[in-house]
Structure 1
Amino acid sequence: MTDTPHPFHPNFEYAFTIAIELSKATYIAPSNTGQTRAAIYATSGTVEGRINGIVVPMSGGDFPLVRADGVLDFDAKYLLELDGDAHVMIHNRGYRWGSEDAMERLRRNEPVGNDEYYMRVAPRFDAPAGPYEWLNRYVFVGVAEKLPGSNRIHYFQLM
């Protein structure tokens, strides 16, 4: 092995954090696939960093599939209202998994160390022309924290 980085090694730059309060989950178990589907709504939240604003209350939510292997397969979509009254749609796809013990504590809404589970998302944005249209042009990765009753997602822009 060499210490020389690959010439196309990605560089990430911190962009912003979304802290989102969540409703109680509603479950469809089993769903038509034989797995469990949930519905969890975005009740409120904040956006802070290179962009600032709020999560528009009840503008959407997450509809994760609990796969047979225990992995949560996220599919979340909701609106952000950013400074200047711009509305931006965010669509997060991603995964959360961990040990059986860590996942059970997360299900009970108990605190779990971020080193005990994996929770990552890949967002896409639908932003209007103007100061936020750069969101439509870059790839981002979100590193998420599951907190009791909420999520906090730290987004990094791939340069």
Structure 2
Amino acid sequence: MTPSLLPGAHLPEPPVLTFLAKLTVQVGPPIDVGPTPEGHRRIVPILGGTVQGPTLRGRVLPAGADFQVLRTPELTELDARYALETDGGAVIYVHNVALRHGRPEDMARLNRGEHVDPAAIYFRCTPRFSTAASEWSWLNNVLAVGTGTRMPDAVEIDVFTIG
């Protein structure tokens, strides 16, 4: 049951989202662990990629992986861990947790590496950043959200900081 507001009450203002960057993450073929007590597990290697934003620009380093659990035919939980290197040489660690949801037939095609219309898949994430680089230390103290698109050999993520 949805709580109702008192007559005359106003909804709170949502937080401001500020575009940080588009991450294009190149991925390799999944390593299929198989059905486990937690769900069907897969590990998707991260091979590299690009980072393009108004201020944050660089590359995705060829290290890390996306640890996936296919919970149901409609839902996949993602837990990606990898690093970015800025054009200035700073290294930023990324821990990105996501949900991908769609019709069973669309999710099956996506998991086989086939193209699926991004509009048919709900793909949202919450990347967290960690770095020792002083010029990027503000990333240690913000939350971010993103929208993702899975392609056969890459994932595109539009990342927004939450103000």
Aligned pair in 2 of structure 1 residues 81, 6: CA closer, same or farther (>3 Å)?
same
Q: TM-score scaled to structure 2, two decimals?
A: 0.88
Which consecutive segments of 4 or more residues in structure 1 shift more than 3 A? none
Separation (CA, whole Å) in 2 of partners of 1:30 and 1:7: 43
Separation (CA, whole Å) in 2 of partners of 1:52 and 1:43: 18
1:69 Cα deviation from its structure 2 partner: 5.5
Pairing partner for 2:15 from 10, 13, 26: 10
Separation (CA, whole Å) in 1 of partners of 2:47 and 2:73: 29
Identity of aligned residues (%): 30
Partner of 2:122: 118
Unaligned residue ranges in structure 2 (runs of 5+):
none
Separation (CA, whole Å) in 2 of partners of 1:34 and 1:74: 13
Which structure carries more helix by proportion?
Answer: 2
Pairing partner for 1:89 from 81, 86, 93: 93
Bigger Rg, which one: 2
Mapping 1:30-49, distance limit 5 Å: 30-31=35-36, 33=37, 35-49=39-53
Pairing partner for 1:158 from 151, 159, 162: 162
Q: Does 1:62 align with 2:63?
A: no
Q: SS of the residue aligned with 1:30?
A: strand
Letter in 1 for 2:48: S
Partner of 1:98: 102
Q: State how many pairs are aligned.
A: 156
Q: TM-score scaled to structure 1, two decimals?
A: 0.90
1:110 Cα deviation from its structure 2 partner: 2.1
Separation (CA, whole Å) in 2 of partners of 1:126 and 1:34: 28
1:116 Cα deviation from its structure 2 partner: 0.3
Letter in 1 for 2:93: M
Q: Structure 1 residues 74-83 or 106-115, which shifts more?
A: 106-115
Separation (CA, whole Å) in 1 of partners of 2:151 and 2:10: 35
Pairing partner for 1:29 from 23, 27, 34: 34
Separation (CA, whole Å) in 1 of partners of 2:92 and 2:38: 34
Partner of 2:150: 146
Q: Structure 1 residues 90-99 or 106-115, which shifts more?
A: 106-115
CA RMSD in angstroms comes to 1.9
Separation (CA, whole Å) in 1 of partners of 2:21 and 2:10: 27
Separation (CA, whole Å) in 2 of partners of 1:5 and 1:133: 36
